[in-house]
Structure 1
């Protein structure tokens, strides 16, 4: 059997593209656009079958919906029932503005997917993403609704539920994050959730014990050590080793001129001590640009105690783009490959764990998400 060819799945503000690589990750071919002009928030290939591809779309005439392909984008069909909140008895209630996060279920639950939306909602599909239903108590629970805050909370494209993480040892053990609303854990398959916010900072002047004021940007569970979580937060980078419940800030060791504010975070699939982040300028008015116009990833090999700047091959000046929370990912190779999409429409790749970077694609629309998949025939 030949080695699988990786494909980068690129979701943008104006459509989706697929970037096909060879087995050596040296040559890449761009396929697209798909859904030209539509906002695509997430594009994910099911790792369990290597065939089912889901796209979270916001279209001018259909509104928020999902599309599904089983032939790597050659043909697409709108799903029969996209995520939607249950209507209130009096006819009021919330409406899904867009689906933001798509998460395949565990290996022993083929066909199961989870989705997080804006405003904050959690949904589940049991038929490969074709029909969706509200999942868990938190969508309509009065306490959680209060913690979710207003739909005009200041998040540029609306508040959202994201970072759905499933313990590979126990499909009933879930983590989710809400921006805003904090990080939450379920150990009973979503029947209940509990906040997991101890040790996290909030914006000065707000109470730390209220989930409403917590803004996690990205939470990742370590595949090789599922009791370890990392978090890129609005207020720093953190690590949590269960069964502890208090997060430890690990971003303080980044250079002061760079800081530890950003959106994406990637964990090595085989080494829980290795992770990458991509800081942005978080000073003053939060310009959401690379610090000093000099973009760089940072890698830690010791769980966040020390960091190494990784910018070889990246622009050295006047490059003001940055990377959104879903727009950085890793492959499964050795050495591991890293990939990121920028707010200026470039895709960069590294085949040596970030030591050097090459531009793989240019001139795309603003990139919202980059994921990797390994298609099967």
Structure 2
């Protein structure tokens, strides 16, 4: 694969953060101020600054303004918490939400000051203390903020994060509320999407009801087809990709794609079969035909044709949990 004019950032468990400034051809291990063996569970690109990325770790929040070349520590009350998600207001980059375990924090001044938000998450859950795995500031109305909880379903705020409401269950099993990935499809046929261990659930009524789509099982003895991250193609909201596998971490996986907003699904070609569940994706509206995906056990895939085909990079990692894709110019 030829190197691209974009940067890939990879966050790992136990292996810190690595950055490739040439589309995966060469890699730099970040050593300062992030510890080289830290856990990076989330990477979020500022929707208003294509070169700014937030990294959430078990030791606090970090930020780069130069595509990952240099990083700075963001002082916050989250240094002793697991950071699982970051959401940035698309109308105001100074408003940043950080999902932790179990609740969330908000800054209105670009990270100078923080306040803890009480989502009302129910404890304990089947995994102990729930995790706020996704926070999305709704681009249709930025006063609306969505939070996906592992394991406690979907919460929504209509006043910028001051007050929260738990939305109806996605299904009868507690793990229907084990939210892994979330996305919002804007437009006339707006939808909210969530992935769980059971598949991808769709709501066309702002989270008041949900319809589940299950993917094919990999083995006859499997009880379900596990799903993790998902992403909507930046230039076509009818095209979505879901990370899939036999279980977590699993021994094999796939990428599932829809080109008609979930009406039908296929599995794009991958140059190498995944060695575990496909865990996460990265896309960027400035690079509409480039996408990145990762298996949880270190395989990294890049598509340069809008997701039709995916090439595995030579570089492999330990346990990948987060990805970011940013243009170099």
Residue 27 of structure 2: SS of its match in structure 1? strand
Q: 2:291 aligns with which of 310, 318, 338?
A: 338
- Alignment check: 8 A CA contact 1:82 1:130 kept: no
Q: Indicate whether 1:15 and 2:24 are aligned.
A: no
Counting matched residue pairs gives 318
Residue in structure 2 matched with residue 103 of structure 1 by the alignment: 87
Q: Name the CA shift for 1:257/1:321 in 2 (closer, same or farther; >3 Å).
A: closer
Distance 1:335 1:122 in 2: 31
- Alignment check: 8 A CA contact 1:148 1:178 kept: no
Residue in structure 2 matched with residue 288 of structure 1 by the alignment: 249
Residue in structure 2 matched with residue 141 of structure 1 by the alignment: none
**Deviation beyond 6 Å, 4+ runs, structure 1:** none
Q: Indicate whether 1:131 and 2:113 are aligned.
A: yes
Q: What is the CA deviation profile of residues 89-139 of structure 1, one whole-angstrom value per residue up to 9, with x for unaligned ones? A: xxxxxxx531111122222x1322110002x1111122323432213x42x
Aligned Cα RMSD in Å?
2.8
Residue in structure 1 matched with residue 72 of structure 2 by the alignment: 77
Distance 2:296 2:89 in 1: 29
Offset, 1:159: 2.8
Q: Name the CA shift for 1:335/1:110 in 2 (closer, same or farther; >3 Å).
A: closer
Residue in structure 2 matched with residue 154 of structure 1 by the alignment: 127
Offset, 1:174: 1.2
Residue in structure 2 matched with residue 90 of structure 1 by the alignment: none
Offset, 1:256: 4.5
- Alignment check: 8 A CA contact 1:329 1:370 kept: yes
Distance 1:56 1:296 in 2: 26
Residue in structure 2 matched with residue 255 of structure 1 by the alignment: 216
Q: Name the CA shift for 1:257/1:67 in 2 (closer, same or farther; >3 Å).
A: closer
Q: Name the CA shift for 1:334/1:127 in 2 (closer, same or farther; >3 Å).
A: closer
What is the correspondence of 1:265-284 to structure 2 with a 5 Å cutoff?
265-282=230-247
What is the correspondence of 1:1-377 to structure 2 with a 5 Å cutoff?
5-13=5-13, 14-21=15-22, 28-34=25-31, 35-58=35-58, 64-83=59-78, 97-107=81-91, 109-118=92-101, 120-135=102-117, 137-138=118-119, 144-145=120-121, 147-150=122-125, 153-154=126-127, 159-198=130-169, 200-203=170-173, 214-223=177-186, 227-242=190-205, 245-251=208-214, 254-257=215-218, 260-282=225-247, 288-290=249-251, 293=252, 295-315=253-273, 319-324=274-279, 327-332=280-285, 336-374=289-327
Point out where structure 1 has 5 or more consecutive residues left out of the alignment: 59-63, 85-95, 139-143, 207-211
Offset, 1:350: 1.0
Q: What is the CA deviation profile of residues 332-373 of structure 1, one whole-angstrom value per residue up to 9, with x for unaligned ones? A: 367622211222222111112332221234232211101222
Distance 2:193 2:290 in 1: 20
- Alignment check: 8 A CA contact 2:218 2:246 kept: no
Distance 1:281 1:168 in 2: 33
Q: What is the CA deviation profile of residues 15-37 of structure 1, one whole-angstrom value per residue up to 9, with x for unaligned ones? A: 10112246xxxx74322234311
Distance 1:97 1:28 in 2: 34
- Alignment check: 8 A CA contact 1:79 1:131 kept: no
- Alignment check: 8 A CA contact 1:83 1:132 kept: no
